Structure 1
C-alpha cells in the first residue's frame, strides 16, 4: 500500500486555473512544502451551455473544450512548480450559478492546524473577491489565523507603480486598482511583504 501524501504545509486558493501560477510562480518553489494549489472555479460547465465570449475569443468551440485545455495546462504548470493540485467543482463565472462557494468551507475546515494559507487580493475581478471574502468569513467562523493575501496578477499589475518601492502607497490611494487593497487594509491590520 502507498502511504497517503503528507498534509499540505501551504495552501494557495486560486480562483481560476491560472491565477496562482500567474501570480506566484516565482514564490511557490520557496514556500513550505508540500504546496497545494486549490482551484475554486474548477468545475466543468454543464453540457450544452452556450460558449462564453472569452472562450470563443480564445479559440474554443465549447466551454467543455476550454475546460479540458485549462485542466491540462494547470496540471502541467503545477507539476513544473512542484505543487499538488485540488480542483473544486464550482464552474467558472459564465457557466456557474452564482451561488455560494460551499466547497471552500469544507476544504478549509479540514486543513491541519498550522497550514499556511494564501488567498487572492481580489483586484478588479469579482470571482477573486468572492473567493477572498468567503475564505475570510470561513476562517473567522473557525477561529483560524488570518491568511496571507497575494496580489493577483495581471489585475494588480496594471498599477503603473507595480513592482516599485511605491507599490503599497500607490495601492492605498489608487481608485482604479487599489480598491481591494484599501478594503483589506480598512478591515484588518496588515503588513506588506515583498
Structure 2
C-alpha cells in the first residue's frame, strides 16, 4: 500500500513538473513565433505598424482547407452581372458578426467573439472581439454597429426598404450600445 502511495505522489510530482515545463517552453517560444512572421512582400517599406499592433487581442486563426497559398497570381471569378450581390460581397465585402462554419453545420463567431439570446430569442447581445480595427487602424467598436443601424439602416434615403435579413415581423432591427465591445 505504501509503495502505491509513493508511486502516486511521484506521478503527481511528475505531472506538475511536466505541466510547468510545457508552460515555460510555450512562454519562451511565443516571441519567436511573432518574430518568424513575415509581412507580404508588397507591404515592405510601407511604414505599417508591427503585426502585433495591427491584430486584435484574440485574433481568429482560420485553418486552411488544404494548404496555405502563396502571394501573387490572378483570381478568376465568375460574376453573373452587377446584380450578383452575394458573390461580390463574398470576395470583397462586409464581415458579419457571425459566420457559417465551412461545412455549414453551425454558426460560429466572426467579428463578434460571443453572443447570448434572451429567453424568447427576441434580443441578441453580441460581444465584439477586443482590439478589432478598421483598415485605417481606428478601433471597431459597438458605436460602429449603432451607427450602421441608426444612421444607415433606419435612413429611408439610404435604405428605402431595408434588407430582409435586418427585418423581423415587419420591424427593422434596432441596436443599443452596452459598452465599447458590447451591443
Alignment TM-score, normalising by the size of structure 1:
0.27
**Whose helix fraction is larger, Structure 1's or Structure 2's?**
1
* Higher Cα Rg, which structure: 2
Alignment TM-score, normalising by the size of structure 2:
0.28
